[in-house]
Amino acid sequence: MAAVNGSAEPRVRTAPGRLGGVTPRVLVVQHEADDPIHLMGAWMEGVDLAVCRAYDGDDVPTSADGFDGLVVMGGAIGAHDDLKADWLPATRELIRSAARSSVPTLGICLGHQLCAVALGGDIAVNPNGRQLGLLDVGWNAEAVDDELMGGLTGPRRGMHWNDDVVTRLPDGARQLATATTGEVQAARHAPTVWGIQWHPEVDDALVAAWATDGSLPEAEKERVLDDLVRSRRDLDDAWRPLAARFAELVAAAAAR
């Protein structure tokens, strides 16, 4: 992976050794500078994070070999925007490789949509309009016994900022959460591949950077950021267990 000058996030974070001195490795595919793994990465204790900054010239591997987990981050591009982001075909193949190799995979927002299309589903611009701000997660009954989401099915809100949504899940997928307006909020796209439409990794500083695109009226921007600040403790309590459970699944996969 290419070096990045002046990057705020380490390209590799080394965690304390586990599993007899072998620390599980998680590959993070980052599509934009302003959506790093951030809080989710800090909460994934006991794993090494190898960050592939595709937007900055890092080559996205097409195989998950050598990694015990995969996280695919969000971004303003679409899952089919190959002309804008020439690394997307490789990312979709990487997701398919991870699925074939039973590598635990988590797609966040755009990453969720990429998991869907990589494995045979569809996405489209949401006919109900942009999903924005802290929205309730509408857990489905299928989530209760899910290996990753099962411990999270109480009331929770997640930060949404997306125009596209998954319109058809891959064959055999399980829908784990549904928005109040009917959109897929979370899914198990394959036995070891999960996707969530919200952003558990963000704080108000990251979202404030997104809001500089000029697409929000000032009052709406202030509302979203104020809600994030007021809800910080609840959001940490809600999504830290998701990161911890994903790290556990990665460690179990590494031990096999």
The reply to whether 233 falls in a domain is no
Neighbours of 100 (CB within 10 A): 12
Contact between residue 30 and residue 229 where contact means Cβ atoms under 8 Å apart: no
Q: What is the pTM of this model?
A: 0.92
Instruction: Show the tokens assigned to 256.
Output: 């096999």
For residue 190, give the nearest of 119, 139, 88, 110 by alpha carbon.
119
Strands (E), the chain: 12-13, 25-30, 48-53, 69-72, 105-108, 122-125, 131-136, 157-162, 164-168, 174-178, 184-190, 193-196
The reply to whether 5 falls in a domain is no
pLDDT digits (tens, 9 = 90+) for 190-216: 999 999 999 999 999 999 999 988 888
Q: Identify the CATH number of the domain in which residue 50 sits.
A: 3.40.50.880
Say what the pLDDT of residue 9 is.
42
For residue 113, give the nearest of 145, 146, 82, 73 by alpha carbon.
73
The reply to whether 227 falls in a domain is no
Within 8 A by CB and 6+ apart from 5, the residues are none
The reply to whether 232 falls in a domain is no
Give the model's confidence band at 11: pLDDT under 50 very low, under 70 low, under 90 confident, else very high: low
The reply to whether 247 falls in a domain is yes
> What is the count of structural domains for the chain?
1
- The catalytic site residues sit at 109, 199, 201
Find the domain containing 191 and state its range: 12-203+239-255
pLDDT digits (tens, 9 = 90+) for 158-176: 999 999 999 999 999 999 9
